């Protein structure tokens, strides 16, 4: 079978719900027709449209790596009506999924390189699809050292704690740096904003690609810091996930100049970003 109609959602069932933070949950979902997953074939960094019947649909990053077969994961922050409804859903309930949409992280170009992931808040969700792809046993030999720098407002706002403090640090040649914005009782880890921690770590750009996603203000200062450290425009990759609606470049909701985020993105290099209109 093939997913011939890109606008047609396919029925899926929520199989597991993980409480990540007070306002972020991760939903594991499986297609009711197993044959759909066989042709879905998402790549790290792509997005999908999740629809709630009678409510609407929203663009959500696919959080799980394609190396994890048979199911999809979506980490969703409660920010509006639809996401509030999703947050009330439980295992066994039905949703619609269509996609995958957009380009993907250039994982072929990254082979043989060291990788530095820089995330903030829910921005770790799309990065996680690539982190787990790179760390998967069948792919690990293709990549060098992996460093993950991640921060959130507080320890309670850290997503994927099981990966940050357990799964990822156990992987060979993998280092995880975690920070929170302000001191808090019981936290003995690093304190400070992500861009400042990045400058403190001062990672050498030689043979390295950095991939970043997070709040716009974080990305702004991270990009400035990376340029000061000597990273070239092609060594910096980021992902923009805003304004998308149809997912196939037809509705004009997500265009930035001549570029459609849902088709030409959501993944861009710093060189790509600098070609976008100045109002962006």
> Cβ(9)–Cβ(246) under 8 Å?
no
Count of other CB atoms within 10 angstroms of residue 7 = 10
Residue 213 in marked binding region: no
Length of the chain: 280
Residue 246 in marked binding region: yes
Q: How is residue 4 written in tokens? A: 């011939």
Nearest to 48 by CA among 64, 37, 62, 35: 62
Cβ contacts of residue 94 below 8 Å, gap of 6+? 11, 12, 13, 14, 32, 53
Residue with tokens 């019981």: 186
Distances from the Cα of 171 to the Cαs of 114, 137, 280, in angstroms? 14, 10, 38
* Rounded Cα–Cα distance for residues 220 and 153 (Å): 17
Count of other CB atoms within 10 angstroms of residue 258 = 9
Q: Are strands 267-269 and 10-21 parallel, antiparallel or unpaired?
A: unpaired
Nearest to 251 by CA among 262, 240, 242, 239: 262
Ramachandran sector of residue 186 (left: φ over 0; alpha: ψ -120 to 50; beta: rest): left
> Cβ(86)–Cβ(52) under 8 Å?
yes
Residue 254 in marked binding region: yes
Q: Which residue positions form the known binding site?
A: 246, 251, 254, 262
Residues at the binding site for [2Fe-2S] cluster are 246, 251, 254, 262
């Amino acid at each position: 079978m093939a997913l011939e109609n890109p606008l047609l959602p396919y029925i899926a069932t929520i199989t597991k719900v993980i409480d990540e933070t007070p306002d972020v949950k991760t939903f594991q979902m499986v297609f009711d027709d197993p044959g759909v997953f066989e042709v879905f074939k998402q790549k790290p960094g792509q997005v999908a449209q999740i629809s709630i019947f009678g409510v609407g649909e929203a663009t959500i990053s696919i959080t799980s790596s394609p190396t994890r077969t048979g199911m999809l994961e979506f980490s969703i922050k409660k920010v509006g009506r639809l996401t509030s409804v999703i947050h009330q859903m439980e295992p066994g309930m039905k949703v619609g999924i269509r996609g995958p949409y957009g380009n993907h992280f250039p994982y072929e170009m990254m082979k043989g390189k060291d990788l530095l992931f820089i995330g903030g808040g829910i921005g770790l969700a799309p990065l996680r699809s690539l982190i787990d792809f790179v760390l998967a046993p069948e792919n690990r030999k293709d990549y060098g050292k992996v460093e993950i720098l991640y921060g959130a407002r507080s320890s309670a706002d850290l997503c994927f704690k099981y990966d940050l403090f357990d799964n990822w640090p156990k992987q060979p040649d993998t280092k995880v740096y975690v920070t929170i914005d302000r001191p808090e009782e019981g936290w003995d880890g690093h304190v400070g904003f992500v861009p400042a921690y990045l400058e403190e770590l001062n990672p050498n750009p030689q043979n390295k690609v950095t991939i970043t996603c997070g709040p716009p203000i974080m990305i702004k200062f991270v990009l400035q810091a990376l340029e000061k450290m000597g990273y070239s425009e092609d060594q910096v990759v980021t992902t923009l996930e805003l304004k998308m609606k149809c997912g196939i470049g037809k509705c004009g909701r997500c265009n930035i100049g001549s570029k459609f985020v849902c088709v030409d993105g959501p993944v861009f290099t710093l060189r790509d970003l600098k070609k976008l209109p100045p109002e962006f």
